[in-house]
Amino acid sequence: MDSIIVRGGAELRGQIPIAGAKNACLALMPATLLSEEPLTLTNAPRLSDIRTMTQLLESLGAEVSSMQGGKVIAMSTHDLASTRADYEIVRKMRASNLVLGPLLARAHEAEVSLPGGCAIGARPMDIHIEALTALGAEIELRDGYLHAVARGGLRGGRVALRFASVGATENVLMAATLAKGSTVIENAAREPEIVDLARCLRAMGAQIEGEGTSTIEVQGVDRLGAATHRVVTDRIELGTYMLAPAFTGGEVECLGGKLELVGAFVEKLDAAGIDVSETEAGLKVKLRGERPRAIDVTTEPFPGFPTDLQAQMMAMLCTAQGTSRLEEKIFENRFMHAPELVRMGARIEVQGGHATVTGVDKLKGAQVMATDLRASVSLILAGLAAEGETVVNRVYHLDRGYEHVEDKLGAVGAKIERVTA
């Protein structure tokens, strides 16, 4: 099993290229199930989750090939071989549930195992079920599978999400493209990944308006066609590497970064004493003083502060001047990285969905264990600021969402390496 070894104290300077968004690509790939014609994605990230989605789509009858080292994914689903998303594949990744809407839309039936993924909360499927039921689907849970049928096809309707779930918005958005009549999605998620999916579907011939707002309108069409689409920049990888100079000093330019992807995050960086400036190629980041300042952070749906950057921000605040408070409002169990940071000398108190972080002068290198994807990279960042050597174990989580972390950080001066036990 691989581990990442980090030796702290090295200042970072240089450029870090930011990949296409994992969460966007995992929603875009199931869109191939909606059409008999090819769908090609460019700027795709090279991650284990992408390989898992490829395996799932192939099991359903899609032909999937990778080109340019995995940065281009060419897909075609001329015929559906199956409408069953098997547990052995789905259990590996939460986003596997995004085949449910497309299968219902095209085949009028689906059998999808309840999904797996990181242990950061229950994340039930009930919102997805309610949304698709509003379009005429009949769904019941039997033997760990969602058995869904749309007799005579899906019908447009009013879908009022009781929470602005990204996954539920994506599922019902794809389903509505082939539903009969008009669909209105209220309290829709507004994340850039939703906008990216809508743009791709529109390129395939879908009629969609309002993406990026809380109300999306879809007029169903008879069929969707071929398209080529560039995956949006990964705002979570972007935010992660934007934090790196705050741990080490120096200056890093994140290539491909755009302010509109990380607005609320940049506001918090500014409050913590971190300068962010736009360049022709992306975003340049530099710490103003010797240490960041304490701030308060509350995670919220987009355009608020993203839950997927909470662990990385907590790691940075461990050496900030003063006491910071973090409130996690999206997922329960998402402070599991806190005990590992405490092993490195951090002062953190967790009570339910709240954490209090009192900054210390220095962290100390230690053996730590990654508990989920974002926790993995937060411990690596903490290692950059720690005295001595930090060994981050169980980094298979990391490979689900970050491509070649050790290469990207190493290229700007970090002392980091991957070892295999």
**Domains along the sequence of the chain with CATH:** 2-19+233-420 (3.65.10.10), 22-230 (3.65.10.10)
Beta strands in 114-161 (DSSP E): 138-142, 145-149, 158-160
Annotated binding residues for phosphoenolpyruvate, as ranges? 22-23
Nearest to 46 by CA among 415, 420, 417, 407: 407
- What lies within 8 Å, CB to CB, of 73 at 6+ separation is 25, 29, 40, 41, 44, 50, 54, 64, 65, 66, 67
Q: What is the mean pLDDT of residues 215-220?
A: 98
- What does the angle CA 271 – CA 6 – CA 4 come to, to the nearest 5 degrees? 110
Taking the C-alpha atoms of residue 271 and residue 264, their distance in angstroms, rounded to an integer, is 11
pLDDT band at 119 (very low <50, low <70, confident <90, very high): very low
Taking the C-alpha atoms of residue 344 and residue 107, their distance in angstroms, rounded to an integer, is 52
Taking the C-alpha atoms of residue 11 and residue 385, their distance in angstroms, rounded to an integer, is 9
- What does the angle CA 163 – CA 165 – CA 171 come to, to the nearest 5 degrees? 130
Neighbours of 46 (CB within 10 A): 15
pLDDT band at 120 (very low <50, low <70, confident <90, very high): very low
Helix-helix angle 166-176:126-133, to 10 degrees: 20
Task: Give the pLDDT confidence of 50-70 residue by residue, as tens digits.
Answer: 999 999 999 999 999 999 999
What phi, psi does 398 have (nearest 5°)? -60, -40
Neighbours of 267 (CB within 10 A): 13
- What lies within 8 Å, CB to CB, of 363 at 6+ separation is 8, 318, 319, 341, 344, 345, 346, 382, 385, 386, 387
Q: What is the mean pLDDT of residues 129-136?
A: 97
DSSP state of 63: E
Annotated binding residues, as ranges? 22-23, 94, 308, 330
The single-letter code of the amino acid at 129 is I
Taking the C-alpha atoms of residue 274 and residue 97, their distance in angstroms, rounded to an integer, is 38
Task: Give the pLDDT confidence of 321-367 residue by residue, as tens digits.
Answer: 999 999 999 877 789 899 999 999 999 999 999 999 999 999 999 99
- The confidence score (pLDDT) of residue 115 equals 77
Predicted TM-score (pTM) of this structure: 0.93
Instruction: Give the catalytic positions in this structure.
Output: 118
Q: Is 106's pLDDT higher than 50?
A: yes
Annotated binding residues for UDP-N-acetyl-alpha-D-glucosamine, as ranges? 94, 308, 330
Nearest to 311 by CA among 370, 399, 245: 370
